[in-house]
Amino acid sequence: MKKQHVRLTDEDKLLLEELRSKGNTTSKANNRALALIELNKGKSYKEVSKLVNKTQQTVSTWAKKYKKSRLDFLQDQPRSGRPIEIGAESRAKITALACSKPPEGRSQWSLRLLADRAVELNYCDHLSHNHAGDILKKTN
């Protein structure tokens, strides 16, 4: 008799089947759900890893996470990232500045000039011309 790595509750089985049949989940969540279903059927980590195209270690980790936190692990947890330094209000001010009349002697705003003026007007502490370009690119 094969070792059963995961024992799904009836409720979890139904939920996983529903998630897979609807197709409105991410591919990561879909792979994890499929792996749990197959592990519940008694398949080995090796068989399931080939099926979902992941390593045996990954499948084993998924099984452990299921045992620990049930189906909560299907979706990725929020990740930390670099905090936004220039807020929405400052971005709006920079965009408005770029849309305003350029300084005397200029036909249009350059990104370097725009970045320098934004810092001068205290819209932000520092701003590179590249970041100014990114801000304008995102506003269309």
- Do the Cβ atoms of 114 and 94 come closer than 8 Å? yes
Q: Check residue 139 and give its pLDDT.
A: 74
Share of the chain above pLDDT 70, in %: 96
Q: Check residue 1 and give its pLDDT.
A: 44
The DSSP secondary structure of 35-71, one letter per residue, reads: HHHHHHTT--HHHHHHHHT--HHHHHHHHHHHHHHGG
| Average pLDDT score, the chain | 87
Domain range summary for the chain, segments of one domain joined by +: 10-74, 88-139
Task: With both helix axes pointing from N to C terminus, report the angle between 88-99 and 111-120 in degrees, rounded to the nearest 10.
Answer: 120
**What DSSP state is assigned to residue 121?**
T
Residue/partner pairs of 122-126 with CB below 8 Å, 24 or more apart: 123/86, 123/90, 123/93, 123/94, 123/97, 124/85, 124/86, 124/90, 124/94, 125/85
More confident residue, 106 or 24: 106
- Encode pLDDT of 29-53 as tens digits: 888 888 888 888 888 888 889 988 9
